[in-house]
Chain A
Amino acid sequence: MGFLKRFFRGRAGVQQLPTGTITVDRNGHILSSTVASAYPRPLLLDIGRDVLVLFREARTAQMPLTEISLQFGSLHITARELRGGAVIFLVPQTALHPTPN
């Protein structure tokens, strides 16, 4: 089956939104993940790294935060600080999964 995919691979790439939870340590390494393995790992690492930067810089700005929430048009990311690392929840906000009010 993989043979056919080589010839009929769609030209337009669109990435499904990640769903699940990841845990990262203080260095941004992923310790555990419930996100589908097909989802690109570099993007999960990007999420972890950016979240850690936001926590770290908030501490530097004398405003230590325990939770950060990033709301995009179609994805909600909630991160809780966890001993220097973070546990990060990824919830798509689509018409099938509307924003909780």
Chain B
Amino acid sequence: MEKRHKILILDDDADWLTLSKEMLAALPSRPEILTANNGKRALSLLESEPVRLLICDLKMPRIDGLQILSIVRRRYPELRTVVLSSLEDEEFRSRAYALGVDLFWIKIEMQRNSKLFIECLESLLGRDDEPGFRGIQSKSLMDIIQMECLSRSSSVLRITRGPLVARLWIQNGELHDAEAEGVRGEPAFRRIISWKSGTFENLPAEPQRERTITKPINALLLESVQDMDEAANPVATDSLEESAHRKTVWKLALLTREGAEFVISIPPEGLGEPEAIGTQNVTQLTAWTRHAAAITRRLGERLEAGPVLQVAGQNMERHVLVLDREDRLFLVGWPSEAGDNLLEKSRKLVASWDS
């Protein structure tokens, strides 16, 4: 007998629970539907039942969806998670994705486009248990674009790399437009294709979008690969010292342009030396940054407060921010008069640092 998956719906609205239960019970794979109207009940069910998929509301009294998601992400890493909320704020979407949810849907969109929603859920339920097949982590952006074009699909790919957001408009398998960091067309496409990692979302097609790219996708990809090869393998006469010097000058210029005081890029202990520009006090600041990141991570786990998004400090002269990237930490120092939005500015600075 075929195994029936279990779906748990968490929402404080009883009417919505009933409605969703009826709708999901009609899924082609006939899953068993469990419901909970508060976080505690949901966690109890997750402990006692082998749930495959959690559908979670965000705005709930006492313990809300974001806290539940941060808990289940740690306790049940294999659990698929979907946020179904009426909050249309983009910030909640990015915070939910930062917590590792598989899908984020607005309730009203789900009602309007229930067929697509059902297909998405079926796809999540149907995915194999093998860790290597979840998501598309092993595919490069080039692979994803090629897949979209080969399947002659029409869609908008929204690609996010930290604070940087880009879009690619694909119509009937042809690339029509690209947009990234205020640039459009081919230059934007080249910029996007050089990104080594990130996340992407498939949005509905926008056939009305003005076409700025006319080259075939394969020609564009080939040119981009050549550009990247040339950048990775500079001409033989360029010595290593000259290359390092040029890199340092470029980073210094970046620092000055953004108005930051200093940046220290810190690899994990034992995996290389920190790289600093704008400060001589590298050893002590590196030690503080590493310890601050470790202490904060531990504290977040004990309080069950979710992942660390930011560690910041300030005194009369400057602001400092610790950013935890996948492979290293960054400490960015700003003069106290640097203004607002330092987190966003630091993220952009760090994203450009590596590219």
**A-to-B contact residues, CB < 8 Å:** 10-12, 14-18, 43, 46-47, 50, 53-54, 57-58, 60-75, 93-96, 98-99, 101
| B335 CB–A CB distance under 8 Å | no
**A12, B46: Cβ atoms under 8 Å?**
yes
**B58, A95: Cβ atoms under 8 Å?**
yes
| B60 CB–A CB distance under 8 Å | yes
**B-to-A contact residues, CB < 8 Å:** 39-40, 43-44, 46-48, 58-68, 70-71, 85, 87, 89, 91-92, 95, 98-99, 281, 284-285, 287-288, 291-292, 295-296, 298-300, 302-316, 320
A-B contact pairs, 28 of them (CB 8 A): A10-B44, A12-B40, A14-B43, A14-B71, A17-B304, A47-B303, A50-B295, A57-B287, A57-B292, A58-B288, A58-B313, A61-B288, A62-B281, A64-B315, A65-B320, A67-B313, A67-B314, A70-B299, A70-B310, A71-B308, A71-B311, A73-B98, A73-B307, A73-B309, A94-B66, A95-B64, A98-B89, A99-B91
Question: Contacting B313 at CB < 8 Å: which of A12, A14, A68, A72?
Answer: A68
Given A14-B71, A74-B64, A95-B60: A63 in contact with B320 (beta carbons within 8 A): yes
**B65, A95: Cβ atoms under 8 Å?**
yes
Q: Return A62 CB to nearest CB of chain B, in Å.
A: 6
Query: Which of B59, B63, B308 has most A Cβ within 10 Å?
Result: B63
CA distance A72 to B293 in the complex (A): 12
Known: A69-B312, A74-B305. 16 other contacts (CB 8 A): A10-B40, A14-B71, A17-B305, A43-B303, A57-B292, A58-B288, A65-B320, A67-B315, A71-B311, A73-B99, A73-B305, A74-B67, A93-B66, A95-B59, A95-B92, A99-B91
Q: Which residues of chain A have C-beta atoms less than 8 A from B70's C-beta? A: 73-74
Question: Contacting B307 at CB < 8 Å: which of A63, A64, A69, A72?
Answer: A72
Q: Which residues of chain B have C-beta atoms less than 8 A from A43's C-beta? A: 302-303
Q: Which residues of chain A have C-beta atoms less than 8 A from B64's C-beta? A: 74, 94-96
**A70, B66: Cβ atoms under 8 Å?**
no
In the complex, which residue of chain A has the Cβ closest to the Cβ of B42?
A: A12
**A75, B306: Cβ atoms under 8 Å?**
yes
Q: Return A90 CB to nearest CB of chain B, in Å.
A: 9
CA distance A93 to B308 in the complex (A): 12
Q: Which residues of chain B have C-beta atoms less than 8 A from A73's C-beta? A: 66-67, 70, 95, 98-99, 300, 305-307, 309
CA distance A70 to B63 in the complex (A): 20
Q: Which residues of chain B have C-beta atoms less than 8 A from A74's C-beta? A: 64, 66-67, 70, 305-306
Q: Return A19 CB to nearest CB of chain B, in Å.
A: 11
Q: Return B12 CB to nearest CB of chain A, in Å.
A: 11
CA distance A95 to B315 in the complex (A): 31
In the complex, which residue of chain B has the Cβ closest to the Cβ of A47?
A: B299
Q: Return B184 CB to nearest CB of chain A, in Å.
A: 28
CA distance A72 to B313 in the complex (A): 15
**B43, A12: Cβ atoms under 8 Å?**
yes
Q: Return A93 CB to nearest CB of chain B, in Å.
A: 8
**B62, A16: Cβ atoms under 8 Å?**
yes
CA distance A94 to B62 in the complex (A): 9
Q: Return A26 CB to nearest CB of chain B, in Å.
A: 18
**B87, A57: Cβ atoms under 8 Å?**
no
Q: Which residues of chain A have C-beta atoms less than 8 A from B315's C-beta? A: 63-67
Question: Contacting B295 at CB < 8 Å: which of A54, A65, A71?
Answer: A54
**B44, A57: Cβ atoms under 8 Å?**
no
**A61, B284: Cβ atoms under 8 Å?**
yes
**B288, A75: Cβ atoms under 8 Å?**
no
CA distance A10 to B63 in the complex (A): 15
CA distance A74 to B312 in the complex (A): 16
Question: Contacting A63 at CB < 8 Å: which of B48, B63, B281?
Answer: B281
Q: Return A20 CB to nearest CB of chain B, in Å.
A: 14
**B47, A11: Cβ atoms under 8 Å?**
yes
